Amino acid sequence: MKISARSILQLIAVAMLTSACSTVRILVPVMRPAEVNLRGKSEIVLGEFTGPQADAIESRVKEAIAASKYLTLLGRDQKSNAMSVLLTGRVDTNQALENPWQENAQCQVGSGNNKQYIPCTHHHRRMTATVGFGFDLVDNQTGMNIKPKRLECTRMEETHFTDTNPVNNNGIVGLVRAIKGTEGPNRAPPIDGSRMLADCHDEVAARLMRTIAPWEDHVIALFRKDGKLPQLEMGIEYAKVGDWNSAIARFSDAQKMADSTPGLNQNTIGKVYWDLGMAYLYTSRFDEAVKAMQHAYEVTHDAEYLKELGTVEQMKRDREKLLEQTSEPAKSELPRS
């Protein structure tokens, strides 16, 4: 599955923050439930998408539905039935607006006794891309609009260039003057507005899919290692590759050693129960996760260990919704043709 740009940035942050630190950050995939429960209504009839460049969003949505293991794509020429919903969309905004401007100023060159100021021109360019997209999800059995919604994506980028030998500075020395528009060619690097709009099309389509189908998120899980208990680091290495059973086994070994070692530092014991609780969390063993995290707090009185309890409850609710959305409906729940 494709990892989002946000997740890629998280991965970079993880790599930068993990080295030579007692706290280890791991990027963990987590399934999230759809905003709308389409249990028993898994067939999507893709209706008309209207508006400027609506076909770009439609093609992305079509590909995503076809690739989803939770939904079945029906074409417009296919007969809809009571098991299906009609998805239609409209683009009301699709624009990339550029705003170039220049400023005449004085720029410092050299340093110390050789420092001087010379006339210069700062060139700026700002591009703002906006896509507004609304969609309707209509139950083909009842005609009810299940989820009317509007999504909006805005992206902004800037480029800059300083010309220390301006051709057109009007002889102004020492005056900073903002000029809307241009005074001669703007030399700030160009910005690709089409690319920015395409990025927004991707974002809008992804957000639509998160509304109608379970989706994969990536979260940063914090683990703590301690040189007194090498089993913790072994468990963390297993967690990094997604082998949670082995990770739990190593953390459990560390727990047994910690519980049977008199005089062991309380902070070390707290780390053991914290790591065990985190491993339980990402294997959906939520009650065990809560007990382990609470024990980590009780032995250390470190309030940081309690902050994750809200995450446990949220993931427990998400898990319940996910199971409800992905379970097969009973025959009595199926709509009549």
Same domain, 65 and 174: yes
Which residue range is the domain that position 312 belongs to?
A: 5-24+226-326
Same domain, 177 and 314: no
> What are the structure tokens assigned to 188, written together?
């700030």
**Tens digits of residue pLDDT in 179-192:** 344 456 889 999 99
**Tens digits of residue pLDDT in 97-134:** 999 999 999 999 888 889 999 999 999 999 999 999 99
Pairing of strands 84-109, 149-163: unpaired
Domain membership of residue 34 (yes or no) is: no
Same domain, 83 and 132: yes
User: Which is nearest to 147 in space by CA: 31, 32, 38?
Assistant: 38
Same domain, 179 and 234: no
Same domain, 87 and 118: yes
Last residue of a domain, one of 213, 240, 261: 213
In angstroms, rounded to a whole number, what is the distance separating the alpha carbons of residues 209 and 231? Answer: 41
Q: What is the DSSP string of 26-55?
A: EEEEEEE--SS--TT--EEEEEEEESTTHH
Q: Is 284 left (phi over 0), alpha (psi -120 to 50) or beta?
A: left
Same domain, 86 and 134: yes
Same domain, 54 and 117: yes
**Tens digits of residue pLDDT in 311-334:** 999 999 999 999 999 987 544 444
Same domain, 19 and 65: no
pLDDT at 335: 45
The pTM of the whole model exceeds 0.85: no
Same domain, 148 and 252: no
In angstroms, rounded to a whole number, what is the distance separating the alpha carbons of residues 162 and 156? Answer: 21
pLDDT at 81: 73
Domain membership of residue 32 (yes or no) is: no
Domain membership of residue 69 (yes or no) is: yes
- SS3 at position 28: strand
Share of the chain above pLDDT 70, in %: 85
DSSP state of 190: P
pLDDT at residue 220 above 70? yes
Same domain, 113 and 171: yes
